[in-house]
């Protein structure tokens, strides 16, 4: 199987046997450390990004997923302007109006609130919670994963901490935070982010262990590079693809987690719009007005499915053994 050179882990100057000796001229170590760095702006880095974009553009599922995500993000960002009605605006003359009625394309709920407007604003809240949760997991999980994979002395401690976090079920953690700090968007994001930290630590730790055994990392260490320099300039840039793929997997899980928490009353609180709270409010009227529950459920499904499809395509596009796929 052919290997695309653009996706092979970038090996900095001075990483091969003929350039890694730190004793030549008495200053090989410092010179090698300054040369070896991130290749984000190098021709190799640019070529790699172009190759990934080309692979994604040739994947129909990736294109469909990207289009759905772009549209969803635009709707979420512009929801306060695009929504036909305010989230709490009621039409008591038309409660539980079916879709296609006058002035309400997706119908109304039991209080006469426009379902389309609340879905648009609810998507905004769901994506915001998902983004905050994933950022929280990345900020905590990536450094801990790097430390666990690179420093053997702290590996056991971080691994036990990961096992401890995994021992707490997600809902128990959310209930505890809601009882201590109250149910809110921020607390829901924190609970979801904490629940995603252990998985991220394990993935980054595994990738760090793999990269640590490669020649260019060993050459940088022989050249006299510090541990922080090796982690920041060699390990982390080459682990970025794994982190990006994991983030695309964590986002739909966070969206579903927010919907569950809001449905149970542990997340965003009414009357603030949320896809989960819309499902909870429509549950007693599911027989009379199924659209009030089905349409928010479809929105949740489309968001989660689009992220999952695009994440799978991104993983395949970042695979250095992907050949011409």
What is the reported pLDDT for 124? 93
Q: How confident is the model at residue 1 (pLDDT cuts 50, 70, 90)?
A: very low
Contact assessment for residue 247 and residue 132, using Cβ atoms and an 8 Å cutoff: no
Give CA–CA dist 227/222, Å, rounded.
Answer: 11
> How many helices, marked H, and strands, marked E, lie in the chain?
13, 0
pLDDT in tens, 220-250: 888 888 888 889 888 998 898 899 989 998 9
> Which distant-in-sequence residues (6+ apart) come within 8 Å of 292 by Cβ?
96, 107, 108, 109, 110, 115, 278, 281, 282, 285, 286
pLDDT in tens, 81-111: 999 999 889 888 888 889 987 888 899 998 8
pLDDT in tens, 245-264: 899 989 999 999 999 999 98
């Amino acid at each position: 199987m052919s290997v695309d050179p653009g996706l092979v882990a970038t090996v900095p100057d001075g990483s091969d046997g003929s350039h890694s000796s730190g004793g030549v001229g008495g200053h090989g170590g410092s010179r090698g450390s300054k040369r070896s760095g991130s290749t984000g702006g190098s021709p190799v880095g640019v070529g790699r990004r172009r190759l990934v974009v080309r692979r994604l553009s040739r994947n129909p599922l990736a294109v469909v997923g990207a289009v759905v995500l772009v549209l969803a993000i635009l709707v979420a960002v512009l929801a306060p302007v695009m929504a036909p009605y305010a989230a709490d605006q009621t039409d008591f003359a038309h409660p539980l109006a079916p879709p296609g009625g006058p002035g309400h394309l997706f119908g109304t709920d039991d209080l006469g609130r426009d379902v389309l407007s609340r879905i648009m604003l609810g998507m905004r809240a769901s994506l915001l919670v998902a983004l905050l949760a994933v950022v929280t997991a990345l900020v905590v999980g990536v450094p801990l994963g790097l430390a666990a994979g690179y420093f053997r002395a702290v590996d056991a401690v971080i691994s036990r901490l990961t096992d401890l976090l995994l021992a707490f079920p997600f809902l128990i953690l959310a209930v505890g935070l809601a009882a201590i700090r109250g149910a809110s968007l921020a607390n829901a994001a924190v609970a979801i982010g904490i629940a995603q930290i252990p998985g991220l630590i394990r993935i980054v730790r595994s990738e760090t262990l793999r990269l640590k055994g490669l020649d260019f990392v060993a050459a940088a260490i022989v050249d006299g590079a510090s541990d922080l320099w090796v982690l920041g300039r060699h390990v982390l840039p080459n682990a970025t693809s794994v982190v990006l793929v994991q983030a695309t997997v964590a986002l739909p899980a966070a969206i579903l987690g927010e919907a569950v928490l809001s449905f149970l009353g542990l997340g965003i609180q009414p009357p603030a719009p949320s896809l989960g709270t819309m499902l909870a409010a429509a549950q007693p009227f599911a027989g009379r007005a199924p659209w009030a529950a089905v349409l928010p459920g479809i929105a949740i499904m489309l968001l989660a499915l689009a992220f999952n499809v695009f994440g799978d395509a991104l993983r395949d596009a970042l695979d250095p053994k992907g050949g011409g796929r």
